[in-house]
Structure formats: C-alpha cells, structure tokens
Amino acid sequence: MKIHLDIDCTPEEARAFLGLPDVTPMQKAVMEEMQKRMMASLSAMEPEQLFKTWLPAGIQGWEQMQKAFWSQMTKTAGDKAKGA
C-alpha cells in the first residue's frame, strides 16, 4: 500500500507547521554584516594598496629586491663559469 500526499505551501507555512523557528531576522543581520566586511576588504584590493602591502618601502624596496635578484643571478653564473 502506497500513500502519496502533495502539500502546496510556502516555506514559511511549512516552517510554522513543523514548529521550526523563523531565522529570517538573524539571517538578514548576518548577511548585512558579511556585506559590510566584504566592502571594507575591497579597499585592500586596490592596486596602490596592494603595492604598498607587498613592498612596504615602495620604490626603494623594489630597487633593493632587483639588486638582490641580479646579484644572486650573477653570483650563480660566476660559480658555474668557475666550475666549468
């Protein structure tokens, strides 16, 4: 024996019928807080801000990083030339 019931109701009606709490206000508050935090963190995605974060010393830090890179590369090339 099979019994098949079709119930046509809204989610709110089903929640009330089953005795479940209405979490809509809490969900709305959480979503608003998430939106505020996401909007605040978007300012960190601006190119200028990213550059400042990655290279705190700005251009001087970039130049120092380039010099360190090139000195390491020339040292490696010189070591290989001596060993060959």
* 16 and 39 fall within a common domain: yes
Domain membership of residue 4 (yes or no) is: no
DSSP secondary structure code for residue 10 in this structure: -
51 and 41 part of one domain: no
Residue whose token pair is 């010189």: 78
Amino acid occupying residue 29: A
Integer Cα distance of 73 and 24 in angstroms: 60
User: Is the pTM for the entire model greater than 0.95?
Assistant: no
**Chain mean pLDDT for the chain:** 81
61 with 75, same domain: the answer is yes
Domain contains 2:
no
Q: The domain containing residue 33 runs over which residues?
A: 9-45
Contact 42, 35 (CB under 8 A): no
Say yes or no to pLDDT of 48 above 80: no
Of all residues in the chain, the percent with pLDDT exceeding 70 is 76
Q: Number of folded domains in the chain?
A: 2
